[in-house]
Structure 1
Amino acid sequence: MKYFITVVFNQIGTPTYTYDFARLLVDMTETDKHCYYHATNEGGYISWTDFVKEIFKQVDKDVKVTPVAIVEYGAFKALRLFNSYLNKSKLVGSCFKTFSTWQDALLRYLKLINIEGLGS
């Protein structure tokens, strides 16, 4: 059976695994380097459409993902930036460990929740 899903294509950012982010917060509490930092997984910026496509690719599911502009998607209550590019240089400059790629984080998460049909 083939599935269909519509996902926004014109919002760009870097997926961030909450486990990786939580680990960073714990590491920060063990230092005196309290400041504002930007943190995301590595691996580049992608649209929500591309992220959803990668999820289904990793779980080997046949899903048709249709890109749609945010204005076509319908009513949305929270205003969001179209591009969520974050500068992580302060985080790196403070000697905190950077995150793995979002692709690796996604694979770790899918394995954690025991999704069948994962590619290599």
Structure 2
Amino acid sequence: MAVDTGLIAWVEEALAPLGPVTSRAMMGGATLYCGGTVFAIVAGDALWFKADAVSDATWDAAGAKRFTYPRGDGVGTMNYRRAPDGVYDDADDLRRWAILALEAGGRAPARKPRRRPS
């Protein structure tokens, strides 16, 4: 599945007022960061915003589906929600949802650095 680089460019441009957006390749997709905080992923041509227990009710009210992926034992989920349709052509709407995702990213526990074999 190819990543929609145009979508990533749109997110970078629309979120410029919030801070620099960077991306990193991830298993056929991309992880998006704003100011160093993970806030979204891009899988194919879809944008998925980071969510958590605090923001889940807002995402549920918007009808935003949870990210799922096939696993050997069935279906796995990640706490990302499908971006509402309006974000693809409305920068203000994109920023509103991105702020919610950035808040969730800020609440996420810091990842422990990987230990390198000595």
User: What's the TM-score, normalizing by structure 2?
Assistant: 0.26
Highest CA radius of gyration, 1 or 2? 1
Higher relative contact order (CA 8 A, sep 6+): 1
Higher strand share: 2
